[in-house]
Structure 1
């Protein structure tokens, strides 16, 4: 009976992983952001996925000031930050940025990040992960997603200019793979997941949902691996750190010292000539996609070193 109970728990958690929907976001907020930053909703017809929508933000290299204010309460903690960037003195950047959200996010959650890179001078593209937002497909867990974004880039983006992938959490795995495979020229990773089963266990540790008391770490990891197996994948294919170790492309990684999903301690040993790892102090995983003054300074320095005209 205990074995049957454990097996049942694994299947229940697996079903929850596979069927997890994107977190909702206020339509009024999305509408306001779209209007303020001239966001275009476009459609691309993929030969394998059929037609889907993505967001395009044309560069705002002529706009003189960017002012952003974040005030979020995704957890028991409220986090606020602000950003003011003046055009005067900014380096000149051209090219494209591809923005990819994390597990249970959607392209709507990435609009503020996209608007930041739009202001810096990049044409910016924002996508849903497979099985998220409007993409009603099976989940790709950051692995299968790479191919569909690759097809988009090769069809729609000027590859003679720099292409930078920006990925948050699970989107960090996608951005890492795109860059390692030379589909993108560099990547900025915001709290990238380490490996799906490890990161899911870390998420449960940090989030502490009420049902966690009934689930062992082994059950959580088994459920994660079963979900991957059903998608034709294994945990090793979702290991962002292994891919980073094999790549010689430029990466900028933000990781928090209190984030069990994407712990700074897991990424700090990767710091090298091509990988810069920035420690964020005492910031929960849910807020790691936000760009404040500190993150802006690090991003600007990294872009200037690698992609300044």
Structure 2
């Protein structure tokens, strides 16, 4: 009986062990079986992972391309910094471009500054005439004489320079076929007109254009004639006449005569300065086509007449005593 129980126990243990072994083998096989039974799902997971890898790869490729593009942009003028530099370079070039609006404005203001500086310097030359001092009339006249002689030499030198260019239009300028102005008076015309324009060849050329327009119309020809002979030449003849008296007769003049000569000289010098100012303003107005004086010959004639007619009545008689 005891022996039978032992055998039964052993058998039960063997069965249990067998079942355990069978269970272990089944578990080992199950993952494979499970894998085969879920092939569709596994394949889909693989595709998803592959697509994910592909997307990541593409993204990395794009990022790499962007990085490469940024690297290329560092040396490429089309990038922002290079474009800014390019724009700055273009702006710098525009400063010297006459067609650029800002450049034109700058150049105009610069010319205006030069003109006012020139006129101011001219007025400063004779500032001593209007200052209270212990100097008598004779001493002041001597100073004026020295200044005018120096100016005369400078004018001749500048005229010689312009004579070598194509801008010396007064050398051959004639109001009509019967105009036979003498060589000396032609030089005097050049002295006052060219010096009033500070020997600026552009302004000289513009004045030539204005006078030629006036001469085309018979009604306007007299305006050009008055400007040339009565106004321009008249002022210069008066100044040269006073200068001759200072140079050759000053020491023989009475006190009253010296005083009158000084008064006349002050007046003529101021008239010359006003003439230069008016002439420069006329040239500027013409270039800007102010009130259409460049495009309308009638308005140009009226402008010249209105601005220069007063000079003729302002001139002291050329053959006045002093």
Q: Normalising by structure 2, what TM-score?
A: 0.26
Larger Rg: 2
Q: Normalising by structure 1, what TM-score?
A: 0.27
Richer in strand (by share): 1
Richer in helix (by share): 2
